[in-house]
């Protein structure tokens, strides 16, 4: 009988106090690892990690990743970046600095430590895609000078840096492209469609559809996303990605609104507002590569994920 010894790692999660990051920190601690969370709380709330603070294996570092950081770790998940259009457009220059300078700093750290490093990239690198669904070899259709560019071009540049550090300095990189993710601890005020619709429904306010609601997104529940991130981190050295992570079930925004109306039994109506500039018409990941390489696929259906999210926001609304 072979005895496999669990190896406890020390893991840095930048942006670990955020929506996805806080769930990731929690899962890594559950698995017995030590976690250092580096976050400047630019778009997150301390409440997201309040329940972890007294865990002896959890360490919180208030740190802005546009500045160098010196810690000793085995693995790095780089999630720090404002992620919603409202947040990343508040201060676009800071968004680029966080994404690009931040990538340089964590890559420099990984290079010094010979640590494995995973970049949370985004479906936005595909821009308003001409190829549907998006496979990883599609180069995308982005606008370098538009209002979303600080984020999508920033993330494209960060991917470039990851692959240059891999080719030039042999850094053990992993790149995943995250598609729309939702669940408990989404920001109530970051304008994302799921949080907006759920809160509008709970407060009986009109549900605001931008455009005619025919545009689609594919929504992945946060627990599934975290499993995907960890599965990618555990692939052999040299498996760099990029790999799409998301739920391939495509939903028109109007259908999402109708589902949330039905699930919350709200009396709120549905109203239509102008579509923001450069808002992609369709988005759905091709997750073949994730299934093959990681043996991973999103397991939570939209009804189950939405009901947990509605529960979270109902409790949050009750506290305020
Ligand atoms: P989030 O805003 O909740 O989390 C980002 C975290 O990064 C926050 O805690 C924020 O305070 C922190 N941060 C921002 N700037 C920082 C800086 N300069 N230094 C240190 N910390 C900083 O967003 P999220 O939805 O959890 O996204 C996490 C990552 O996943 C991001 O990199 C985002 O681009 C990527 N992503 C998310 C989605 C999604 O649907 N949520 C989709 C694609 C990609
Ligand atoms: N860096 C860091 N922590 C480290 C090592 C490097 O934050 O432990 C930062 C450092 O500030 C540098 C960046 O990472 O600017 C890139 O590092 P690299 O070694 O690639 O470049 P260099 O130091 O030669 O400019
Ligand atoms: N959206 C909407 N009403 C809202 C918020 C968003 O109709 O209150 C639309 C938005 O225009 C986009 C889709 O929902 O077409 C997803 O928006 P989100 O900001 O959540 O994600 P992203 O555009 O980054 O995929």
Using a 10 angstrom Cβ sphere, with 0-12 exposed, 13-18 middle and 19 or more buried, the burial of residue 67 is: exposed
- The answer, yes or no, to whether ipTM is higher than 0.90 is yes
Q: For residue 227, what pLDDT is reported? A: 98
Q: Best substitution site from 147, 253, 275, 309 to test ligand 3's pocket, by max atoms within 8 Å of Cβ?
A: 253
- Please confirm, yes or no, whether 57 is among the known catalytic residues: no
Question: Angle, to 10 degrees, between the axis of helix 222-233 and the axis of helix 19-30?
Answer: 60
Q: What is the mean pLDDT of each run of 10 residues along the chain (320 residues)?
A: 69 98 98 98 95 98 98 98 94 98 98 98 92 93 94 98 98 98 94 96 96 96 98 98 96 97 94 88 93 97 98 86
Question: Angle, to 10 degrees, between the axis of helix 149-169 and the axis of helix 102-113?
Answer: 20
Q: For residue 1, what pLDDT is reported? A: 42
Listed by start position, the domains of the chain span 10-182+222-247+282-299
CB of 253 within 6 A of ligand 3: the answer is yes
Q: Give φ, ψ of 208 to 5 degrees.
A: -95, 110
Q: For residue 103, give the ligand nearest its CA.
A: 2
CB of 13 within 6 A of ligand 1: the answer is no
Q: What is the pLDDT of residues 130-189, one digit of tens each?
A: 988 999 999 999 999 999 999 999 999 999 999 999 999 999 999 999 999 999 999 998
pTM: 0.96
Q: For residue 2, what pLDDT is reported? A: 46
Cα–Cα dist 264/254, whole Å: 16
Rg of the Cα trace of the chain? Answer: 19
User: Is domain 10-182+222-247+282-299 in CATH 3.40.50.920, yes or no?
Assistant: no
Q: Best substitution site from 215, 217, 268, 284 to test ligand 3's pocket, by max atoms within 8 Å of Cβ?
A: 217
In SS3 terms, 119-187 reads as EEEEHHHHECCCCCCECCCCCCECCCCCCCHHHHHHHHHHHHHHHHHHHHHCCCEEEEEECCEECCCCC
Q: For residue 283, what pLDDT is reported? A: 87
């Amino acid at each position: 009988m072979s005895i496999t010894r669990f190896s406890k790692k020390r893991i840095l999660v930048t942006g670990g106090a955020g929506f996805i990051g806080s769930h990731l920190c929690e899962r890594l601690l559950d698995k017995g690892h030590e976690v250092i969370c580096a976050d400047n709380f630019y778009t997150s709330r301390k409440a997201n990690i309040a329940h972890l603070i007294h865990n002896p294996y959890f360490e919180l570092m208030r740190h802005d990743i546009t500045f160098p950081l010196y810690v000793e770790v085995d693995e790095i998940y780089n999630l720090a970046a404002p992620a919603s259009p409202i947040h990343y457009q508040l201060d676009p220059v800071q968004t680029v600095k966080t994404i690009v300078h931040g990538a340089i700093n964590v890559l420099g750290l990984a290079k010094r430590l010979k640590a494995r490093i995973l970049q949370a990239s985004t479906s936005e690198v595909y821009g308003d895609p001409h190829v549907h669904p998006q496979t990883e070899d599609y180069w995308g259709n982005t606008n370098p000078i538009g209002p979303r560019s600080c984020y999508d071009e920033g993330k494209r540049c960060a991917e470039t840096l990851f692959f240059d550090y891999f080719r030039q300095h042999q850094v053990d990189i992993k790149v995943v492209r995250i598609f729309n993710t939702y669940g408990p601890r989404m920001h109530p005020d970051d304008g994302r469609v799921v949080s907006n619709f759920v809160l509008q429904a709970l407060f009986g306010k009109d549900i605001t559809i931008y455009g005619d609601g025919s545009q689609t997104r594919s929504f992945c529940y946060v627990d599934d996303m975290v499993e995907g991130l960890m599965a990618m981190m555990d692939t052999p050295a040299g498996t760099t990605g990029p790999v799409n992570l998301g739920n391939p079930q495509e939903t028109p925004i109007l259908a999402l609104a109708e589902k949330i109306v039905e699930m919350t039994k709200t009396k709120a109506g549905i109203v239509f507002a102008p579509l923001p500039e450069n808002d992609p018409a369709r988005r759905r990941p091709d997750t073949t590569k994730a299934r093959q390489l990681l043996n991973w696929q999103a397991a939570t259906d939209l009804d189950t994920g939405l009901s947990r999210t509605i529960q979270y926001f109902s409790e949050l609304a009750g506290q305020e």
